[in-house]
Structure 1
Amino acid sequence: MTHTTATRPVARPDLPRRAPEARERTGLTRTQRFFAFPATWAVIGIAAIVLVDSLFINVGSGLGTVGAIVGAVLGGVVAVLVHRFVMHRLARRAVPELAARGALRQGLQGIALGAGFILASIGIVTLLGGFSLSWHPVDAVSTIALAIGINLGTAAVEEIVFRGLAFQAIEKLFGAGRGTWIALAVTALFFGGAHMLNPGATLWSGLAMSIEAGVLTGAAFMWRRNLWFVMGIHFAWNALEGLFGIAVSGHRDPSLLLTVATGPTAISGGAFGVEASIVPVIISLALSVPMILAARRRTSVPR
């Protein structure tokens, strides 16, 4: 009997190995590759969220307080679902930034940071003579419920649009490292620009929003890579600002306190609210820099 030996393939060290992602992409159709392109899934996701959220807000606002709350919350829920769908079905990746495990802890930590930030800002502005505060509740239960419901929805929608979709798409397009910095800068500028149409907005208020909101939440996302965390920051910030009777990016909502700007606009923020004050800009930078440094240390650790 003759024994045969199977021929082993000769190693080809001159041929570079394909990355796992590249190997995975080769099995996709042209249509699937089109939808897996970052700019494609980001635009689809953002458009879907904005359209559905606008519909819920417009319908809910015509149904009184309860309708407004339900509409805003539903908009936030849809934003989360759209993000999951886009990432799973189009981008074809997992969604660790919206992991259910630890979501409550991350959200509460974000709320603590956001509350500390806005309370410190209001406190310092008041001490500098920028605000006059007085207790002025009107239907306190309804006011608190409205502040919680509206701002939960707003925080979910805006953070998923800017940090969940836009930030990660830009980062993916330009690659890790450089892409992260480009994503931080672009989303921060767009976030500030998106608020330029609000009542009382100025060029300065847009720049201030870019720094204190865009950079702060962008830095928080770079650090934690968790959307529940940045949603918590955004929610606490807006809800407390509104309950204090301060205009939230130019918009005034029912409040528990009556706050009147009594000092220079540079300190009080004027008609736009405390977000146009130099005080939160400085505080936000003091918070953002350590988070960015922590994010850089984490990514530089060899695995």
Structure 2
Amino acid sequence: MKKRSAQKEHSQMDEKLSKWRLFWRFPIVWMVAGAISIILVDAFIRPLGEQVPGLLSLLLTLTMSFLAIIVYMLTMKYLARRSIPELSKKGAGFEAIMGALTGVIFIALSTIIIVSLGGYSFQWANNADTVTNLIASIEAALGAAIVEELIFRGLMFQAMNKLLGNWAALAVTSLFFGIAHLGNAGATLWSAFAITLEAGVLLGAAFMWRRNLWFAMGLHFSWNALEGLLGIPVSGHTTAGLLIVKMQGPYLLTGGDFGLEGSVVPVIISLLIAIPMLYAANRNRNHMLQKV
């Protein structure tokens, strides 16, 4: 009798453990758990970085970024119970550089068009501390790129993809990415819609195409860093750049206080870049299905 009772207890414990594991493996659960953990890491370290100067602040941002990546990997390994090819070390440098070049082309082309239409003019910031401003722009861009890509393209996209499929994942993450920027300075319903299209769709398309977070992070980083160095507000956040921008003309051209992301120009340019990426992503997916 004792043996049967012990076996029954073990069976019940195994059943409870099995249900507990299934709970954590549900996509919404590991998505939320991972996102909260990454946000907490960011919320704990970022204020420390704001209290120290220059290189030490950048070092803290690098530390925060490293810890956020570790949290993401642990979430995927132990909660989602899946491999992490999107953060593979193999080819990471190449993917990050190609993503960064894509971001530079995107922002440079958008800025040149706005300048040619009379929306922006620039002058050198004579009193600027070049090194300090350079570090500040890199630091702000790096932290945002890594944290936001881990949460939106890493956790949310893949959770939604698991539940609803690729295209629904792209729509959901793009929408939430736009909503997340509504609280920024100078934000409007239009700027949120613009962010949904230009950032949500472009970064989502980049991830769908490359299936690589290093590429998306590189694109996001160079996008924000170049804007900051040009003195253009980055989604409402102003940083001291190497140049001072003067805006003139309608809001839809300049983006106003929200910055370049509020302009219709990068919305159009981003879609022209994203559409070929989405086409390539769909072709790659069909090719993989044919192999199976």
TM over 0.5: yes
The whole-number CA distance in structure 2 between the counterparts of 1:72 and 1:54 is 11
> 1:169 is aligned with what amino acid?
A
Q: Which residue of structure 2 aligns with residue 20 of structure 1? A: none
> 1:116 is aligned with what amino acid?
I
In the alignment, structure 1 residue 77 sits paired with structure 2 residue 66: yes
Q: Which residue of structure 2 aligns with residue 144 of structure 1? A: 134
For residues 81-106 of structure 1, what are the alpha-carbon distances to aligned partners after superposition, in whole Å with 9 as ceiling and x for unaligned? 11111111111111000000100000
- State the SS of the aligned residue for 1:259: strand
The whole-number CA distance in structure 1 between the counterparts of 2:227 and 2:41 is 26
- State the SS of the aligned residue for 2:245: strand
In the alignment, structure 1 residue 59 sits paired with structure 2 residue 45: no
The whole-number CA distance in structure 1 between the counterparts of 2:80 and 2:270 is 32
In the alignment, structure 1 residue 191 sits paired with structure 2 residue 177: yes
Q: CA deviation at 1:50?
A: 0.5
The whole-number CA distance in structure 1 between the counterparts of 2:64 and 2:168 is 28
In the alignment, structure 1 residue 166 sits paired with structure 2 residue 156: yes
The whole-number CA distance in structure 2 between the counterparts of 1:196 and 1:73 is 27
| Divergent runs of 4+, >4 A | none
Aligned residues: CA RMSD: 1.3
For residues 4-43 of structure 1, what are the alpha-carbon distances to aligned partners after superposition, in whole Å with 9 as ceiling and x for unaligned? xxxxxxxxxxxxxxxxxxxxxx9x7221111111111111
The whole-number CA distance in structure 2 between the counterparts of 1:240 and 1:144 is 10
Q: CA deviation at 1:55?
A: 1.1
Q: CA deviation at 1:67?
A: 4.5
Query: Which sits farther off after the overlay, 224-233 or 75-84?
Result: 75-84
Q: CA deviation at 1:134?
A: 0.6
Of residues 231, 237, 249 in structure 2, which corresponds to 1:251? 237
The whole-number CA distance in structure 2 between the counterparts of 1:88 and 1:236 is 29
The whole-number CA distance in structure 1 between the counterparts of 2:282 and 2:140 is 34
Q: Which residue of structure 1 aligns with residue 99 of structure 2? A: 110
Structure 1, unpaired ranges of 5+ = 1-25
The whole-number CA distance in structure 1 between the counterparts of 2:57 and 2:191 is 27
Q: Which residue of structure 1 aligns with residue 202 of structure 2? A: 216
The whole-number CA distance in structure 1 between the counterparts of 2:142 and 2:236 is 18
Q: Which structure has the larger Rg?
A: 1
CA contact (8 A) 1:77 1:153 kept: no
The whole-number CA distance in structure 1 between the counterparts of 2:52 and 2:59 is 10
The whole-number CA distance in structure 2 between the counterparts of 1:67 and 1:261 is 33
CA contact (8 A) 1:155 1:234 kept: yes
For residues 106-161 of structure 1, what are the alpha-carbon distances to aligned partners after superposition, in whole Å with 9 as ceiling and x for unaligned? 00000000000000001100000000111115110111122122211210100000
The whole-number CA distance in structure 2 between the counterparts of 1:112 and 1:161 is 22
Q: CA deviation at 1:52?
A: 1.1
> 1:171 is aligned with what amino acid?
N
Q: What is the aligned residue count? A: 273
The whole-number CA distance in structure 2 between the counterparts of 1:270 and 1:68 is 29
Summarize the alignment of residues 92-103 of structure 1 with structure 2, pairs less than 5 Å apart: 92-103=81-92
The whole-number CA distance in structure 2 between the counterparts of 1:75 and 1:212 is 27
- State the SS of the aligned residue for 1:100: coil
The whole-number CA distance in structure 2 between the counterparts of 1:115 and 1:252 is 19
CA contact (8 A) 1:72 1:154 kept: no
The whole-number CA distance in structure 2 between the counterparts of 1:80 and 1:61 is 21
Structure 2, unpaired ranges of 5+ = 1-14
Q: Which residue of structure 1 aligns with residue 19 of structure 2? A: 30
